[in-house]
Structure 1
Amino acid sequence: MNFSKYFVLLLSFAGFLLLLNTGVKAQQNGQVTNPPSSNFNLNFNPFTAGYYYLDALSARSGDQFFMSDGEIDINEYLLGPNDLITVSLQGTESIVLRALLINPQGDIILPMLGAVKVANQTIAEAQKTIDQKAKNIFKAPNTRISLERARPLSIQVTGGVEFPGKHVVPPFSRVDAAIYQAVNGNSIETTESGSLGNLLNTSGSFSLRNITIDHRDGTTDTADLIAYFKAGESHKNPILKYGDQISVSRLSNKAPRVSISGAVLDANEFEYSSSDTPELLVRIAGGFKPEADTSKLFVFRNENGTQQKIEVLREDWSSFDILPNDRLIVPADQGLKSSASAWVYGEVVTPGNFPIENGETTALELLTISGNLTDRALPSASYLIRAGSQENEIPNEYNTELLKRTSDQLAQGFDYLDLETKLSQNKVYIDISDEEQLAGVKIYDGDRMYIPRDEQTVFVFGQVNNPGYYPFTETDQTVGDYINRAGGFALSANEERTFIIKAGSSTWYRPNETQIKSGDRIFVDREPYDELNAQRTYEVQKEQIKNTRIQLILTGISTITGIITTYVAIQNIRN
């Protein structure tokens, strides 16, 4: 019995040597031929000084590329049907068996070794399995397995999602990919990497922070997608394994929550997780604002109807236990100097951006800091633009909908109010020559003060023959003088509607109501006109009125003539 066994092994080994010798001779002759009586295309490769085999059918099935999140641990990854692997056998000769597909029975088919079961084994375990079987042919074989393409993962998603059930996701996907499919109903062909925005848009009825993953080996894991996306906690969104079952719980209005606000970049309220700590919540909130006091934070907690304020120092943030419905507030550093600043543009000695005390520095102080006005400044045209921050909003902010409820304005009146609001938005009138007024104007972070240049011109436009800028002179003080210099009135000018628009404030005046200054504008309105049909109608109506008047005159004359004739006839009868 033992002799027969050794005899068979000897014949097998002799056949294998013959196969190798045939391949070498074929290579030396410049030809590559298949080994005799073999279904495998085992070719000699001069670059590796060994034999090389490629399963073309399996290689074509592995042309799809999947991104792997990090390196694969050969002691963790379990092989299974549809995995595509390469087996490298190092022994007396080097043999590389490329693109072997694990079949549905969990086997790979190796030349001379036949079927080898590798399913449900780690890569490290499968290497030992092949080594053990190859000992019958090779002396001290050393097998190395490379994963060419991992199989897609079949994942069960249950709970409060729109599409519970089996979902197929790309290999090495994380939990969010499976939940994204279960929420949107997408298939593996249409699923891209999950995003918090997409999940939050459809969330509200299911949990994103308390997700349970049950593995086939009986172990359990958890996921917190808020911590993963917003704080970069990779272990809070673990990589899935084949056959995992994800449980997503439903949320109600009474589900415990937690919030963080104050001097953080992204103040928010979200679902509570038992793993929450101040350190994690600060990271979820995007970190601190520049003015934050990073030495401590406050936890406001409601216990037995009593509101408690708990101060937590920085060194305790990673160990302090957050309870359901706790509210965290990061305070601002009251001793920190303000980073507020305001801009001054135009005709000042030193234009630029200057530090200010937010809401304390006055317009007069800002002007003084910038070195006051130059000789070319036009003080009457100066103005201030607010930055539009929340603390600068008007207390009685214009609200069209509210006014519609209580006002007797017409629709056109509301349109006009909207227009005026937009034109006047964030603009503050300042009189540079009035120090008392400037001292009462407070400056806020981002405000901008403009001091235009005095170009010693007056702009004449509208219905004049030559509109444009004209030099301002003390002798030309009347509107008529500037209109004459602009070529006089145009044919369609309405001379009675001539206005002076003041520089800076843009206030309209009649010519006799103000004195022209440098930077002012003179506007000449035109006679109103209508479209052609309206003009024709007007001409027809004018002719009709003219004809009616002539008819009335003729009728009057006829009536008077009749009266006179009657009177003369009566007098003749009497005589």
Structure 2
Amino acid sequence: MIKKIVLVIFFLSTNFLLSQIKGLSTIDPEKLFQEDVIGRLDKDQEAIKDLSTVGNVVDPKYYYIGPGDLLALQNITFSITTEYLRVTPEVSVLVPRIGEINLKGKTLEETREIIIRSIKNRNPDAIVSLSLYKPRSVLVSIKGNVIKDGVYAFPASYRISTAIQMANLTQTQNIFQQQQFFTYSRYKDLNKEIERLYNETGLAHTKVYSLRNVTVIHSDGSSETADIIKAIALNNPDYDKYIKENDEIIVPYELEDFPTITVAGAVRKPGIYVFKKDDDLNFLLKTSGGFSDDADLDNIILINGDGISQKVKVSPDLIPSNNVPLYPGAILNVGRKNVDLEQNAGLVSIIGNVKQSGNYIITPGKTKLKEAIEMAGGFSNDAYLPLATIIRKENKFLSAFNPGREYFEKFKQTDLTMEDTIRFNIDIMYKKPYVSCDFYQLFVNNDESQNVILEDGDLITIPSNPKSVFVFGQVKNPGYINFSEGKDIEWYIERAGGFAPKADKKRARIIRGKNKVWIEQEKNVKVFAGDEIYVPKPPDLPPGVELQNYSLIATAITTAISLSYLLITLFGK
């Protein structure tokens, strides 16, 4: 019994002595303090779960600590548990076993050094790391050349450029914002069209002024100019800093006339930028986004504002052999290598009722339809030529923002009447890129004018015989009628029970199955399998219109009789 009491006393004494040696406590007060801090940060943990968009990768050299930042401190000397340090409104943090540390005006990198040094002063063997776990939110004001100016709450990890991008996002929650969205969409659509026209020309289509002259006014009254273009080109955050509390960001409007520097030619991103004093050749090259694949690095010309051309040597990674300052009006043009753009081979696809469907190599602009069908082994027995088609791929601009653009563009100088607009719009919406060709005339009647020349990407479809004609509208028994070669529209209407009582017989039409073209009923017009026949009612007239028509006729007759009587009276004398 005595031995047990002695052992207990010895254990407690040893534990007490060890606890007095810094860093060797078996009852870790740091861990206890940590658990206490974590317990008091339960609310912070809930906030952490709802992390907002970070926006930019945080560079510790440039990110300044502020009230509300949440730091993650990990001391893995004796524990791997992470401690969270909330920066106070006085821009300080309470570090366990260290106390309060003032961080005003300190970057994240400086903060890391100060806190780690403070811990190591107490325990040189400590293994410590510190990082920004969640950036604080700051209020900034954005105005000027943005879609929606106002006051925004953004994470302090946003750079000035990111804040501007967010102010240019469109919302559609209410009618005003929907109108704003459509206005902006039209603006973007116009820019897309201009970009398409200038695509692959090596020329820039717009000048950039505003993004090189963004004014930022800080809450302490100081101000600076952000150069977003230079920040991106040189990957230098000094020109595009992180936002701070109560910053006022003013984006200037584009000017029409200002001194410029230009990069053009065989580069990925041609540009025209406002000239600034410290601009040099290295900067202008970096704005280009790199050389295109056909760039001729032995043919790079610089005209440096004096009108004199000089060749410059530039490495493939955009480093000039002689970095010279630029002057207003400087132009850098990267030449292109001569590339043979003539395409000597292409593919067409033949599907449907041929003996061997598939893709076949042709010579674009030379191979004709008959040759392509011969490559496929000719037609199979089920081929039905009146419905055969060729569709050609189109490399044209399609607007996602304004699908009616083609309609308005083509109709703006028309001499058609307003009554034609709806019909024209329907035609535009549903037109297909068919190649004008009549397979029946070519392969049955040997009309060589229909032996069209093929192009790369053409799709040739040879359908089978549907063996029926669909008759609908004002007929007594609408539906499918078995196809009979050489019959006309009247024969099929008769097979459908004849005209219904309300049918407008003169307006019956054939709708071609191949292209949905409406054909009037005339002699010698054949009906093909797959066609449709439509018999409409007479046009519905609004109430009173028919009476007005009769009145006009009566008026015309009365006028004619009166005029005749007058003439007889005058000349009869």
TM-score range, shorter chain: 0.5 to 0.7
AA aligned opposite 1:125: I
* Residue 319 in structure 1 maps to residue 320 in structure 2: yes
**SS at 1:333's partner residue?**
coil
The alpha-carbon distance between structure 1 residues 96 and 331, as it changes in their structure 2 partners (threshold 3 A), is closer
The alpha-carbon distance between structure 1 residues 467 and 59, as it changes in their structure 2 partners (threshold 3 A), is closer
CA distance in 1, matches of 2:267, 2:75: 61
Counterpart of 2:401?
none
**SS at 2:419's partner residue?**
helix
Counterpart of 1:411?
418
* Residue 437 in structure 1 maps to residue 437 in structure 2: no
CA contact (8 A) 1:342 1:445 kept: yes
CA distance in 1, matches of 2:133, 2:287: 36
The alpha-carbon distance between structure 1 residues 352 and 169, as it changes in their structure 2 partners (threshold 3 A), is same
Counterpart of 1:144?
128
1:176 aligns with one of 161, 180, 192: 161
Q: Deviations over 1:146-179 (max 9, x none)?
A: 3565664879999977799999853433342355
**SS at 1:208's partner residue?**
helix
CA distance in 1, matches of 2:302, 2:85: 60
CA contact (8 A) 2:347 2:456 kept: yes
AA aligned opposite 1:437: S
CA distance in 2, matches of 1:368, 1:208: 60
2:411 aligns with one of 391, 395, 400: 400
The alpha-carbon distance between structure 1 residues 206 and 380, as it changes in their structure 2 partners (threshold 3 A), is same
Q: Deviations over 1:183-237 (max 9, x none)?
A: 89xxxxxxxxxxxx99x98998853257799999x9x997545884xx9968698
2:114 aligns with one of 112, 116, 125: 125
CA distance in 1, matches of 2:57, 2:261: 34
AA aligned opposite 2:210: S
Counterpart of 2:405?
none
* Residue 54 in structure 1 maps to residue 37 in structure 2: yes
CA contact (8 A) 2:312 2:320 kept: no
CA contact (8 A) 1:277 1:318 kept: no
CA contact (8 A) 1:298 1:329 kept: yes
CA distance in 1, matches of 2:490, 2:253: 80
CA distance in 2, matches of 1:298, 1:106: 56
Shift of 1:453: 2.0
The alpha-carbon distance between structure 1 residues 105 and 483, as it changes in their structure 2 partners (threshold 3 A), is closer
The alpha-carbon distance between structure 1 residues 239 and 458, as it changes in their structure 2 partners (threshold 3 A), is same
* Residue 427 in structure 1 maps to residue 426 in structure 2: no
CA distance in 2, matches of 1:419, 1:436: 33
Counterpart of 1:192?
none
The alpha-carbon distance between structure 1 residues 303 and 97, as it changes in their structure 2 partners (threshold 3 A), is closer
Q: Among all aligned residue pairs of Structure 1 and Structure 2, give the percentage whose two residues are the same amino acid.
A: 18
Counterpart of 2:242?
240
1:449 aligns with one of 452, 460, 468: 460
CA contact (8 A) 2:33 2:96 kept: no
The alpha-carbon distance between structure 1 residues 461 and 236, as it changes in their structure 2 partners (threshold 3 A), is farther
Shift of 1:430: 0.7
**SS at 1:380's partner residue?**
helix
* Residue 510 in structure 1 maps to residue 510 in structure 2: no
Counterpart of 1:490?
500
Give unpaired runs (5+ residues) of structure 2.
1-11, 20-24, 170-183, 192-205, 398-407, 555-573
CA contact (8 A) 1:277 1:317 kept: no
CA contact (8 A) 1:431 1:437 kept: no
Aligned ranges 1:71-220 → 2 under 5 Å: 98-101=83-86, 120=106, 121-132=110-121, 134=122, 142=126, 144=128, 146-147=130-131, 149=133, 152=136, 170-179=155-164, 206-209=209-212
CA distance in 1, matches of 2:501, 2:150: 82
Task: Tell which deviates more after alignment, 302-311 or 349-358.
Answer: 302-311
**Structure with higher strand content:** 1
CA contact (8 A) 1:109 1:115 kept: yes
CA contact (8 A) 1:277 1:319 kept: no
**Structure showing greater Rg:** 1
AA aligned opposite 1:412: E
CA distance in 2, matches of 1:242, 1:419: 54
CA distance in 1, matches of 2:149, 2:478: 74
* Residue 376 in structure 1 maps to residue 387 in structure 2: no
CA contact (8 A) 1:377 1:451 kept: yes
Shift of 1:472: 3.6
Shift of 1:314: 7.1
**SS at 1:469's partner residue?**
strand
**SS at 1:427's partner residue?**
coil
1:386 aligns with one of 382, 392, 404: 392
How many residue pairs match? The answer is 463
Task: Tell which deviates more after alignment, 107-116 or 368-377.
Answer: 107-116
Give unpaired runs (5+ residues) of structure 1.
1-16, 25-41, 185-196, 392-396, 546-575
Q: Deviations over 1:44-64 (max 9, x none)?
A: 569969985427656646745
* Residue 252 in structure 1 maps to residue 258 in structure 2: no
CA distance in 2, matches of 1:112, 1:314: 55
Shift of 1:297: 8.8
Q: Deviations over 1:495-535 (max 9, x none)?
A: 55555566647462535333x35427473635526479679
TM-score under structure 1 normalisation?
A: 0.57
Counterpart of 1:344?
350
Q: Deviations over 1:4-58 (max 9, x none)?
A: xxxxxxxxxxxxx99x95999xxxxxxxxxxxxxxxxx99569969985427656
CA distance in 2, matches of 1:466, 1:102: 84
- Superposition RMSD in Å: 6.1
CA distance in 1, matches of 2:65, 2:513: 81
The alpha-carbon distance between structure 1 residues 51 and 222, as it changes in their structure 2 partners (threshold 3 A), is closer
**SS at 2:117's partner residue?**
helix
Shift of 1:144: 3.4
CA distance in 1, matches of 2:497, 2:94: 101
* Residue 468 in structure 1 maps to residue 479 in structure 2: yes
**SS at 1:345's partner residue?**
strand
AA aligned opposite 1:172: S
Q: Deviations over 1:43-88 (max 9, x none)?
A: 9569969985427656646745464966876x98776665555777
Counterpart of 1:334?
340
AA aligned opposite 1:293: D
CA distance in 2, matches of 1:247, 1:152: 22
TM-score under structure 2 normalisation?
A: 0.57
The alpha-carbon distance between structure 1 residues 507 and 520, as it changes in their structure 2 partners (threshold 3 A), is farther
The alpha-carbon distance between structure 1 residues 97 and 423, as it changes in their structure 2 partners (threshold 3 A), is closer
**SS at 2:414's partner residue?**
helix
AA aligned opposite 2:242: L
CA contact (8 A) 1:85 1:145 kept: no
CA contact (8 A) 1:154 1:166 kept: no
CA contact (8 A) 2:74 2:128 kept: yes
Shift of 1:256: 1.6
The alpha-carbon distance between structure 1 residues 387 and 257, as it changes in their structure 2 partners (threshold 3 A), is farther
